A and B are shown apart, each in its own frame.
Chain A
Amino acid sequence: MSLVVESIAKKFDRFAALNGVSFTVPKGAFLALLGPSGSGKTTLLRILGGLEFADMGRVQFESEEWLALPARERRAGFVFQHYALFRHMTVAKNIAFGLEVRARARRPPRAEIARRVDELLSLVQLDGLGKRYPSQLSGGQRQRVALARALAIEPRMLLLDEPFGALDAKVRKDLRVWLRKLHDAMGITTVFVTHDQEEALQVADLVAVMNQGRIEQIATPEQLRAAPATPFVAEFLAESLPRPMAPAANVVNLR
């Protein structure tokens, strides 16, 4: 029961954004797509989310033909770099959105929706801010609302597109740690796009280093540091920070 990506290719006009990407990741893993801009990582993420369509290739998740499902039906929570919060709705309404648009048969009663919203607000540590509007929140708070909103639909897969890119260094560090804890508590398969190697190496179970539409290497952070498979990977990671103090903390036992 894992995420299997097979030979995904995608072109924008003449530009080949993805050139045959394949990998397998166990269910519940935290995968980082790491690479410079133009490497195709966001395109791949959007294909996984159903916001882009691959020209070729196949994706299977939990034994389903993933690409045959429209975005609406995938229950893949997507967190955008610039939050994409609904400006004219309160925080609570934003979070409740995915539940409120469900077909009558599957829609929880109002009281239940409100309860879940409160639960999620607590989870992202924004208790009491339900009635605020996004414009009244800081960047870090808005990102947490975006996350809560994606979590509200009980997603099978969580996709994050450089979610901390627009935030300052301290906030990024804190949110990174917090996100990891959240992932460990919930066990959702998470794919996380970033161009920041420190971030990827510190937070992910598996890191796929991408370059020009291809995966150069996919391995655990430890393995990447110890044995970079190509010159590109070595160079890209060479700019990373010194080793973390407890190397073992970043290695997760995968089934």
Chain B
Amino acid sequence: MTPLSVATRTAVRKPSALPGFLPTFAFTIFYLSAIVLIPLAALAIRPWSLGLDGFIKAVTTPRVLAALELSFGAAAIAAIINTVFGLIVAWVLVRYRFPFKRLIDALVDLPFALPTAVAGIALATLYSQKGWVGAPLSELGLKIAYTPLGVVVALTFIGLPFVVRTLQPVLSDLGLEAEEAAATLGATRFQTFRRVVLPALVPALLTGAALAFARAVGEYGSVIFIAGNLPMVSEIAPLLIVIKLEQFDYAGAAAVGLVMLSASFLILLMLNALQAFVLARR
């Protein structure tokens, strides 16, 4: 062991009494590289075979833009819906006692556990013109299946747990003392909620909404059955990628995929920055 190797070892890793670092670390890196990094590199590189111009052209055709608009737009709407209702569900689960509470709590995880294809055909059937929900709605003139509205419904389904599960621990950690203090200072429940509770929940709300949004943007299985998949109208971006692959337009598919991937990363980065900003003020 030369002095240099000792010095580098302590700079990069603190020596530890426990064994097994090298094998586990090496295996971890190998696994990650083989399964994640190298394939992702393929995604990052392939679009550039079109050249910068080609790349921009490939992702700005009207069809691609419409698909991106639908995927991002519907995801945003679904995220907002889930934020509102997710807050209500989380509040009710943390603060109140009522029959079947355990059941509802367990059900919130359903979208995590249920395969997306199963959810997809179920939602498509439910909201079709002859479906249990679709039929009464079509009497009122509202068509959901095979329209962009259907996409929003499907994305709402899969996004709910992200909001609720992010809010629950924060709500229960909040404790009741601050609200008691507000009561002794003369605030009504509504004032307490608006001024004391809600601001404290903002970071968690944003996190949950962003997670739901990021997941919804890329969602495929739950959506393609209910969506209609008409180009320019109800075609989601992931479907477009699949179609391009079937046409052997690898570079085009990769281009759209890269755009979606970058958007997700951007969202996560902004989210981290936002959280850091909010936390710094505490």
A residues sitting closer than 8 Å to B (CB atoms) are: 49-51, 71-78, 80, 82, 84-89, 97-98, 101-102, 133, 135, 149-150, 152-153
Return A238 CB to nearest CB of chain B, in Å: 34
Which residues of chain A come closer than 8 Å to B282, judged between CB atoms?
A: 87-88, 133, 135
Number of A-B residue pairs having CB atoms within 8 Å of each other in the complex: 71
B81 contacts chain A at the CB level, 8 A cutoff: no
Judging by beta carbons under 8 Å apart, are B281 and A50 in contact? no
- A150 to B184, Cβ gap below 8 A? yes
Q: A86-B178, A88-B199, A88-B200 are in contact. Are A76 and B281 (CB under 8 A)?
A: no
Chain B residues, CB < 8 A from A133: 281-282
In the complex, B269 has a CB within 8 A of chain A: no
CA–CA, A74 to B188, complex, Å? 13
Of B177, B180, B185, the contact of A153 (CB 8 Å cutoff): B185
Question: CB within 8 Å of A: which of B91-107?
Answer: none
Closest 6 CB pairs of A and B: A98-B185, A84-B177, A101-B187, A78-B184, A84-B181, A71-B183
> Which residues of chain B have C-beta atoms less than 8 A from A73's C-beta?
186
From B180, B181, B196, name the one whose CB has the most chain A CB atoms within 10 angstroms.
B181
B281-A88 in contact (CB<8A): yes
> Does any Cβ of A come within 8 Å of B233's Cβ?
no
Contact assessment for B177 and A102 in the assembled complex, using a CB-CB cutoff below 8 Å = no
**A228–B47 alpha-carbon span in the complex (Å):** 89
Nearest Cβ on chain B to A167's Cβ, whole angstroms = 17
The digit string for B198-214, where 1 denotes a CB below 8 A from any CB of A, is 01100000000000000
Contacts of B232 in A (CB 8 A): none
The answer on a CB contact under 8 Å between B183 and A82 is no
A149's nearest neighbour on chain B, judged by CB, is B185
Q: Interface on B for A, CB 8 Å cutoff? A: 177-178, 180-188, 191, 195-196, 199-200, 281-282
User: For residue A71, which residue of chain B has the nearest CB?
Assistant: B183
Q: Please tell me if the beta carbons of B185 and A101 are within 8 angstroms of each other in the complex.
A: yes
Nearest opposing residue in chain A for B196, CB measure: A86
Q: Which residue of A50, A82, A98, A101 contacts B188 across the interface (Cβ within 8 Å)?
A: A101
By the criterion CB–CB under 8 Å, are B186 and A82 in contact?
no
Whether the Cβ atoms of B185 and A97 lie closer than 8 Å is: yes
Could you tell me if B180 and A97 are in contact, using CB atoms closer than 8 angstroms? no
Shortest distance between the CB of B281 and any CB in chain A (Å): 6
Known: A72-B183, A97-B182, A101-B186. A87 touches B177 (CB 8 A): no
Residue of A nearest to B281 (CB): A133
Contact, CB under 8 Å: A80 / B195: no
Instruction: Tell me the bound Cα distance from A85 to B265 in angstroms.
Output: 36
Residues of B close to A49: CB separation below 8 A: 184
User: Measured between alpha carbons, how far is A133 from B195 in the docked complex, in Å?
Assistant: 16
Q: Could you say which residues of chain B place their CB within 8 Å of the CB of A98?
A: 185-187
> Which residues from chain B contact A97 at a C-beta distance below 8 Å?
182, 185, 187, 195
Residue of A with least CB distance to B200: A88
A133 to B200, CA, bound (A): 14
- Chain A residues with Cβ below 8 Å from B199 are 88-89
Contact in complex: A71, B200 (CB < 8 Å): no
